[in-house]
Amino acid sequence: MESIGNIILYFVVAVIIAVFSAMAVTTRKILRAATYLLFVLLGTAVVYFQLGYEFLGAVQIAVYAGGILVLFVFSILLTQHPADPASVLANHRKFVGGLAAVCAVALLGVAVCKFPLIDGMSLTEAVSIGDLNMKQIGHFLLSSEKFGYLLPFEAISVLLLACIIGGIAIARNK
């Protein structure tokens, strides 16, 4: 049995995610879309916290909500007037996109509901089994032993470096 606070928190976050996702892709003002995306990202971070991954939640807020979203906002401000509404979408376009989304939802929903372990474990049980702290994460992240992630860690650092250079090369004035 979950604590009542957890249940309320879940519903609030689920509604926030669902509503703001939908608004982010339907609003005609692009700066608003970015803002709604921020709410979705924050909601996701809350889910991470609730699932017991505090570090991941922190990263989500810092990198996504803090970093990426700022990039979005900058680029929006660079490329257009923020108040300009986007042109109205053609109906058939909406229909085609909606159809694709509905198909995907239907299929994935069926797949999820039929998944045999879908009602396996409650959140409390799961969190109580897999308790972890920052020390463990740091240990795994820089370990080269089994379940160590040193190699991906280094690889991603190289990737980020390449990305920095690539970003400069692409965006730089000729």
Partner 1 sequence: MDLTLPILILAIPITMFLILGLFGMKMSHKLAGILGILGMGTTMVLAYTVAFDYFFSGNSLFISGSERLQHTVFDVTWLQFSPRLVVNFGFLLDPICAMMLVVITTISFFVHLYSWGYMEGEKGFQRFYAFLSLFSFSMLGLVVATNIFQMYIFWELVGVSSYLLIGFYYKTPSAVSASKKAFIVTRFADLGMLIGILVLSFYMPTFNFIELTAPGQPQAVLASTGGATFLGGSVLTWALVLIFTGGMGKSAMLPLHIWLPDAMEGPTPVSALIHAATMVVAGVYLVARMFPLYLMEYQALDFITFIGAITALYAAVVACTQVDIKRVLAFSTISQIAFMMVSLGVARPEIHEGLGYMASMFHLFTHAMFKALLFLGAGALIHAVHSNDYTAMGGLRKYMPITHWTFLIGCLAIAGIYPFSGFFSKDEMLSAMYGYSTFWGVWMTFVAGLTAFYMFRLYYLIFWWDENPHYKHHRPHDAPWQMSLPLIILAAVSCVAGFIPFGELITWNGEPYHIHIEWVKVAIPSLCTAVVAILLATVMYRKKNSLPDKAAAIWPGLWRAAHHRFYWDEIYMFITHKIIFNVICSSIAWFDRHIIDGTMDAFAKVTQKTSYTIRGMQSGSIQTYVWWYLMGAVALAAITCWAIL
Partner 2 sequence: MNLTMLMYLIPSLIMFACGVYGFITRKNLIAILISLELMLNSVDLNFVIFNRFLFPGQLEGMFFTLFAIGIAAAETALAIAIVINIYRSIKKIDVSEITKMKF
- Residues from 24 through 83 that contact partner 2 (CB under 8 A): 24-26, 30, 33-34, 37, 40-41, 43-44, 47-48, 51-53, 56, 59-60, 63-64, 67-68, 71-72, 74-76, 78-80
Contact 168, 90 (CB under 8 A): no
Q: CA-CA distance, 77 to 9, in Å (whole number)?
A: 34
Q: Is 92 in the site for partner 1 (CB under 8 A)?
A: no
**Tokens 């991954």, located at residue:** 53
Instruction: Assess 12 for contact with partner 2 (CB under 8 A).
Output: no
Tokens 């609030």, located at residue: 12
CA distances from 78 to 31, 65, 82, 99, 152 (A): 12, 19, 9, 33, 34
Contact of residue 81 among partner 1, partner 2, none (CB under 5-8 Å per partner type): none
Residue 96 interacting with partner 1 (CB under 8 A): yes
Among 8, 12, 82, 104, binds partner 2 (CB under 8 A): 104
Contact 77/93 with Cβ under 8 angstroms? no
For residues 7 and 108, which CB has a smaller minimum distance to partner 1 in the complex? 108
Of the residues 1, 90, 111, 158, which one makes contact with partner 1 according to CB under 8 A: 111
Asked if 17 and 44 touch (Cβ cutoff 8 Å), the reply is yes
- Give how many residues touch partner 2 by CB under 8 A: 90
Say which entry of partner 1, partner 2, none residue 114 contacts (CB below 5 to 8 A, set by partner kind).
partner 1
Closer to partner 1 by Cβ: residue 11 or 115:
115
Question: CA 142, CA 164: separation in Å to the nearest integer?
Answer: 23
Give me the 107-126 binding string for partner 2, x by CB under 8 A, dash otherwise: -xx--xx---xxxxxxx-xx
- Euclidean distance between CA atoms 45 and 64, whole angstroms: 10
Please give the helix or strand (H or E) that residue 100 lies within, else none: helix 91-114
- Contact residues: partner 1, CB under 8 A: 96-97, 100, 103-104, 107, 110-111, 114
